[in-house]
Amino acid sequence: MNNKKKIMEDLIHGIFLILGLITVGCVFLITVYLIISGVPAIRKIGIINFLFGTKWASTAQDPKYGILPFILTSIYGTAGAIILGVPVGFFTAVYLSKVAPSKMRQIVSFIVNMLAGIPSVVYGLVGMMVLVPGIRKLFNIPDGASLFAAIIVLSIMILPSIISVSMTALDAVPRDYEDASLALGANEIETYFRVSVPAARSGIAAAVVLGVGRAIGEAMAVMMVSGNAAKMPSLFQSVRFLTTAVASEMSYSAGLQRQALFSIALVLFLFIMLINATLNFFMKKGDVH
Amino acid sequence: MKRSLYKGAMKTLMYISVGITCILAFSLIGYVLYRGIPGLSISFLTQKPSYLKGTIGILPDILNTLYVIIASLLIVLPLGVGAAVYLTEYASNKKIVGIIEYAAETLSGIPSIIYGLVGMLFFCQFLGFRTSLIAGALTLVIMNLPTIMRTTEESLKTVPNSYREGAFGLGAGKWRVIRTVVLPGCVDGVVTGCILTVGRIIGESAALLFTAGFAHSVHGFIDGLSSSGSTLTVALYVYAKEQGEFQVAFSIATILLILAFIINLAAVGVSNYYRKKRTV
């Protein structure tokens, strides 16, 4: 009887172990699939030609598969979104965490959560209908669908993650630090920016890195506002990102072209893994405090 | 003098930033409602698109969204809760815990377009599901696994150890303790996880485009899962980008915003409810 019970318990333990390991299995599956389907095209095209080729003409008679334009567009777009989005997100987070009365904090947090809950296609739609024509008129260019439009949409989309992660970090700063600073004669604003912010710096850094991850991985919204032309990036011209390069040709691609799309996904995946590792580094550092 | 200047400057920057955030949110939402509400009607919500009559209805897209949500939750809940139970109740090996948590973090950082691609390769092609709602739902299961795992894990951590010890002391086996003491304690985490997951599924598009496709036909639940269909977000994308039906796109966007609003309210409500319950 007792033996039977033990077997039963072991069996259940085993089942839970398997459930626990499913996430590991998924990561493994994704990695293996991307490598298996992404590597052949890179080998055929040649890694230098693929990564540093400046021309992408997948449907031409003599097809060219250089993805440097996409890599640069993704990097520029992300950098632009960070430059615009991080300051706004940072100051909002400090205000909500330290200055705002609790009712105000609740209301603005709800608004920020609303921004986070808006689907990316809705950002894309509004960008396409308002931002793109607006940019065309304002800067007097033939088409407003450009890197600039994408940067603005991305900077709004990363705001909620930057605000909420920075807020969590700022909330966790021990009240004693701030009290000590106030007791030494610093005013409240000085305390928040010179004591609380430095104490929460690894959390804020994590927020920025998370924003980078969001921006570089966004596909649909960017697809709707960036124009999607496969050439070297320029602020007011139509551009194509790593994500949109995969999405835009997937439905009609075949052969080497299709394989090359998987290779682009692999490159994107490597970028994301690098960003995750950085994020982990900052999160771990935060634990020490 | 210099100090008050610093104080003033920082205060101004904070107010400007909060202002920008709020104005952006309000103008975005306001604009979508302004453009979208005129297109909403009962027939828009309850009909399917008809090329004969030239009318567009989004009933199929609403149903597809619902099916994908139900199917994803049914699969992801046992997996996520089970994984969380393993991490908090069974796992004694720090290394395994570390690996599982690292995997979960990695999963939550992967962009949805990559999920869509791998979902297409694995579920649609390798497992032979073709482009179907179930392939889409399974892709979303992988995407949302970390969320359910994390929220459940957090609420399991709040179950006091004395409960477990009490139950063990009364002679209950491990499984019995989990079933009767631990699992009832994680309901709030599961509910929160479900709300977050539903929100993410409603907003997801890139992962579904290549896995679930974009057909607009009306099916029952079982038939629906095995056939291709677009959710609301995918339908919005197709109507706006491929067909130029902007009125329809804005009306779908309005519905999506209303859903996002309800989900946020529910999340706030649930967290307040359980916080009150816990402090009592």
**What does B188-220 look like in DSSP terms, one character per residue?**
HHHHHHHHHHHHHHHH--HHHHTTT--------
CB contact (8 A) between residue A114 and residue B29 = yes
Residue type, B185: G
CA distance A185 to B226: 68
For residue B89, CA distances in Å to A17, B81, B130, B133, B167 come to 11, 12, 38, 34, 14
Q: Which of B24, B116, B145 sits opposite A22 (nearest CB)?
A: B145
User: ∠ CA(A234), CA(B234), CA(A212), 5° rounding?
Assistant: 40
Mean pLDDT of A26-55: 91
Give residue B53's pLDDT.
Answer: 73
pLDDT tier, A1 (very low <50, low <70, confident <90, very high otherwise): low
Is residue A260 predicted with pLDDT exceeding 70? yes
Q: What is the mean pLDDT of chain A?
A: 91
- The rounded percent of chain B whose pLDDT value lies above 70 is 99
Give residue A287's pLDDT.
Answer: 52
Give residue A288's pLDDT.
Answer: 44
The more confidently predicted of residues A60 and B28 is: B28
CA distance B139 to B142: 5
CB contact (8 A) between residue A117 and residue B114 = no
Closest CA to A236 of A111, A108, A138: A138
Query: What is the token pair recorded at A99?
Result: 């200055």
pLDDT tier, B168 (very low <50, low <70, confident <90, very high otherwise): confident
CA distance A162 to A207: 5
CB contact (8 A) between residue A120 and residue B206 = yes
Residue type, A1: M
Contact residues for B12 (Cβ-Cβ < 8 A; gap 6+): none
Q: Are A89 and A157 in contact (CB under 8 A)?
A: no
- Chain B residues with CB under 8 Å of A90 CB are 17
CA distance A65 to B160: 58
CB contact (8 A) between residue A23 and residue B103 = yes
- The rounded percent of chain A whose pLDDT value lies above 90 is 72
Q: Are B123 and B228 in contact (CB under 8 A)?
A: no
Is residue A2 predicted with pLDDT exceeding 80? no
Structural domains in chain A? 56-288 (1.10.3720.10)
Task: Determine how many CB atoms are found less than 10 A away from the CB of residue A255.
Answer: 10
The backbone torsions φ and ψ at residue A239, rounded to the nearest 5 degrees and listed phi first, read -135, 170
**In chain B, whose CA is at the least distance from the CA of A163?**
B21
Torsion sign over Cα A244, A246, A250, A255: positive
The more confidently predicted of residues A79 and B171 is: A79
Mean pLDDT of B15-23: 95
Q: Which of B77, B106, B214, B275 to mutate to test the interface with A (most CBs of A within 10 A)?
A: B106
CB contact (8 A) between residue B109 and residue A130 = no
CA distance A216 to A281: 19
State how far residue A246 is from chain B, nearest Cα, in angstroms. 8
Helix (H, G, I), strand (E, B) or coil at A227: strand
Where would I find the H helices in chain B?
Answer: 2-36, 42-46, 59-85, 94-109, 112-119, 133-157, 161-169, 174-177, 187-203, 206-209, 221-226, 232-237, 246-279
State how far residue B85 is from chain A, nearest Cα, in angstroms. 7
State how far residue B279 is from chain A, nearest Cα, in angstroms. 19
Q: What is the mean pLDDT of chain B?
A: 90
Residue type, B24: L
Give residue A61's pLDDT.
Answer: 82
Is residue B272 predicted with pLDDT exceeding 70? yes
pLDDT in tens, B170-182: 888 888 888 888 8
Contact residues for A125 (Cβ-Cβ < 8 A; gap 6+): A224, B32, B236, B240, B246, B249, B250, B253
> How far is Cα of residue A244 from the mean position of the Cα atoms in its chain?
14
State how far residue A27 is from chain B, nearest Cα, in angstroms. 6
Task: Determine how many CB atoms are found less than 10 A away from the CB of residue B238.
Answer: 20
Is residue A289 predicted with pLDDT exceeding 50? no
Buried/exposed code over A188-217 (b: 16+ C-beta within 10 A; e: otherwise):
ebbbbbebbbebbebbbbbbbbbbbbbbbb
CB contact (8 A) between residue A125 and residue B89 = no
Q: Where are the beta strands (DSSP E) in chain A?
A: 56-57, 64-65
**In chain B, whose CA is at the least distance from the CA of A246?**
B113
| SS3 of A86-139 | HHHHHHHHHHHHHHCCHHHHHHHHHHHHHHHHCCHHHHHHHHHHHHHHHHHHHH
Helix (H) or strand (E) holding A205: helix A201-217
Is residue A213 predicted with pLDDT exceeding 80? yes
Contact residues for B80 (Cβ-Cβ < 8 A; gap 6+): B144, B145, B147, B148, B149, B152, B193
pLDDT tier, B280 (very low <50, low <70, confident <90, very high otherwise): low
CA distance B152 to B89: 12
Which DSSP letter does residue A239 get?
Answer: B
Q: Are A53 and A41 in contact (CB under 8 A)?
A: no
Burial, B231: exposed, middle or buried (Cβ in 10 Å; 0-12, 13-18, 19+)? Answer: buried
**In chain B, whose CA is at the least distance from the CA of A218?**
B111
**Lowest-pLDDT choice from A25-29, A210-214, B54-58:** B54-58
State how far residue B162 is from chain A, nearest Cα, in angstroms. 21
Q: Which of A23, A91, A219 sits opposite B112 (nearest CB)?
A: A219
Q: What residues does B55 pair with on adjacent strands? A: B50
- Chain B residues with CB under 8 Å of A213 CB are 109, 111
**Lowest-pLDDT choice from A29-33, A154-158, B113-117, B242-246:** B242-246
Give residue for tokens 């459930």.
A19
Q: Are A23 and B103 in contact (CB under 8 A)?
A: yes
Residue type, A81: A
pLDDT in tens, B219-270: 888 888 888 889 999 999 999 988 888 999 999 999 999 999 999 999 989 8
CA distance B250 to A158: 22
Give residue B262's pLDDT.
Answer: 94
**In chain B, whose CA is at the least distance from the CA of A108?**
B22
Mean pLDDT of B269-274: 86
